[in-house]
A and B are shown apart, each in its own frame.
Chain A
Amino acid sequence: MPAEPFMNAVALENPVFRSYVVVLLGLLIVAGALIALLRFGLRRNVDHAWKAYRGWLIIIPMVFAALFFGRATTIAFFTLLALSAFSEFARATGLYHDWWMTGVVLLGIAAVGVVSYVDAPDGGPHGWYGMLMALPVYVTAAILMIPILRDRAKGQLQPVALALLGFIYMGWMFGHLAFLANARNAYGYLLYLLIAVPLCDIAAFTFGKLLGRHKLRPNISPNKTWEGAIGAFAVSMALPWLVRFSFPELGTRELLLAGVIVGIGGQLGDLSISLIKRDIGIKDMGALLEGHGGILDRVDSLIYVAPLFFHMVRYFHGL
């Protein structure tokens, strides 16, 4: 792709973008037909699947619209997602009661968005990569300043630790996804991740339902099974080859790693958020979309996978 590849005028001419529009439309139609078949043909109860499907009918066009309008909207979209994901985390853990902590983390996440958008002062490709990597230093320093300015020690370690996890995980790690909009092959990487990660989830669910016998991690997420996990891993390993058109520049080693990152990382990301929910004692992180729970319940795997994929591609290939 050319130097300023990520514009709405370019999106429709981009073969990767176009292919994914077709692929997603196809998947939606097939999934819709399957649900209709189960409902009307086999008279099964499909309420849950139908709710989730309706959610996808909202999510998918939104993501495509953000990508279609270019680099700025894509970065803004993922930054808003990260801000909302952190807000859910803060509400669920109770960190939200502490407005200074919450405010500093929200500003930190907004800063991730800003450094993803601006150019580095010394030139180079879009996005200020050096500052993105340095941000955790500044945000950690700012978070630790809050109890010091208040001159309060009792009970301060919990909000400090929650704010740090909130920023690093939901803000900074997730923010790598926004930064991918600066890549030469932004469409390929973003669309691959956005489709591979939910597919891994769906595969785990399906294989678990069909073959599940042995519980994967009964204390964290009692419904997940080893059979589902292995099935999801297998699907995720195959996918990079199936959608090889997304990134012709990547070799076998990178494709293998992409499969491992999504196949294992996606499930670890899911379990990471389950672990937080389990410890707090709640079922969903929020209630934004019926059938999907909160934003964090939807993007849990993506948070874990995005930065790993980002650094893998950057290390072997450069963005």
Chain B
Amino acid sequence: MDSWRYEPTADFDKTPIERLKDFPRHPDLLIYTARLVVNLAVRAVLRLWTRLEIVGRENLPREGSFILVANHSSHLDAPAILSALPLRMIHRAFPAAASDYFFTNLPKLLFSAVVVNAMPFDRKENPRQSLALCRQLLDAPGHILILFPEGTRTPDGTMAPFKPGIGFLVAGSTFPVVPCYLSGAFRAWPKGRWLPRPHKVKLLIGPQLQFQDLRPERDHAVAIADRLYQAVIAIQTADGRRRTADTRG
């Protein structure tokens, strides 16, 4: 008779907190369940409280890994973008979150690791290593990376230029980059407020871009960051025009 084979999980001798801090995270039944339940609730709250509207879902690639890029104005951004994805995808979607902010205390850690499944991004000490981690995530099939290339939430509602890191990440790769624009999120939950106000939030998803002809060099990276910035601005302007037309018509 064969003897039994025990395969302890890779993280069996870690404390729950160490497990949450680990990245890449090991799939965990309880975390997946909690994430599913909380995300369902978050979707309901976003729909009711901030009347979230999602336009352009058809622009999301059907398969393969891809990157979503958006302007960053509030803590609603990542949950709002996650709401645009089918529920079964939320465990494979990783919003990059500043490791110096989102992984520092237990409530933030629970939010980052359990609810939004955030990838800790070291924007201060070692951004290069974090970009390598992004690439590693994208190499696995069907992973979605959500990036806010401004690097921080806007203090005043205006969009800051995109940092070139995103350019280094996608230059020369075939991963589609999908630009998104979030409107109303700043009014709903500006930096410094404790809880969101019931202000309408709209997520507009634009057509995808690819940068396989460019090389991961400084000037190319800066150009890509700028192209993406312009793409987000274009979505914003188009939406503004449509809205004016609506009110006139």
Chain B interface, >50% SS class = loop
A96 to B9, CA, bound (A): 7
Q: Count how many chain B residues have C-beta atoms less than 8 Å from C-beta atoms of the other chain.
A: 15
Selected contact of A94 from candidates B8, B13, B15, CB within 8 Å: B8
Number of A-B residue pairs with CB-CB distance less than 8 Å in the complex they form: 45
The reply to whether A287 and B14 contact each other, CB–CB distance below 8 Å, is yes
Does B194 sit at the interface, judged by CB under 8 A?
Answer: no
The reply to whether B29 and A282 contact each other, CB–CB distance below 8 Å, is no
Q: Contact mask B6-35 → A, CB, 8 Å, 1/0?
A: 111101111110100000000001100000
The reply to whether A286 and B4 contact each other, CB–CB distance below 8 Å, is no
List, in ascending order, chain B residues with CB within 8 A of A97's CB.
7, 9
The reply to whether A286 and B29 contact each other, CB–CB distance below 8 Å, is no
B249 CB to closest chain A CB, in angstroms?
A: 53
A281 to B16, CA, bound (A): 22
The reply to whether B13 and A87 contact each other, CB–CB distance below 8 Å, is no
Q: Contact mask A84-105 → B, CB, 8 Å, 1/0?
A: 0001100111101101001100
List, in ascending order, chain B residues with CB within 8 A of A288's CB.
15-16
Q: Count how many chain A residues have C-beta atoms less than 8 Å from C-beta atoms of the other chain.
A: 21
The reply to whether B4 and A158 contact each other, CB–CB distance below 8 Å, is yes
A184 CB to closest chain B CB, in angstroms?
A: 36
List, in ascending order, chain B residues with CB within 8 A of A286's CB.
12-13, 15
- Using known A-B contacts A99-B29, A102-B29, A103-B29, determine if residue A93 contacts B13 with beta carbons closer than 8 Å: no
Does A280 sit at the interface, judged by CB under 8 A?
Answer: yes
The reply to whether B12 and A92 contact each other, CB–CB distance below 8 Å, is yes
B158 CB to closest chain A CB, in angstroms?
A: 46
Does A284 sit at the interface, judged by CB under 8 A?
Answer: yes
List, in ascending order, chain A residues with CB within 8 A of B8's CB.
91-94, 280, 282
The reply to whether A287 and B13 contact each other, CB–CB distance below 8 Å, is yes
Report which residue of B5, B8, B30 has the largest number of chain A beta carbons within 10 angstroms of its beta carbon: B8
A interface residue numbers (CB < 8 A to B): 87-88, 91-94, 96-97, 99, 102-103, 106, 158, 279-282, 284, 286-288
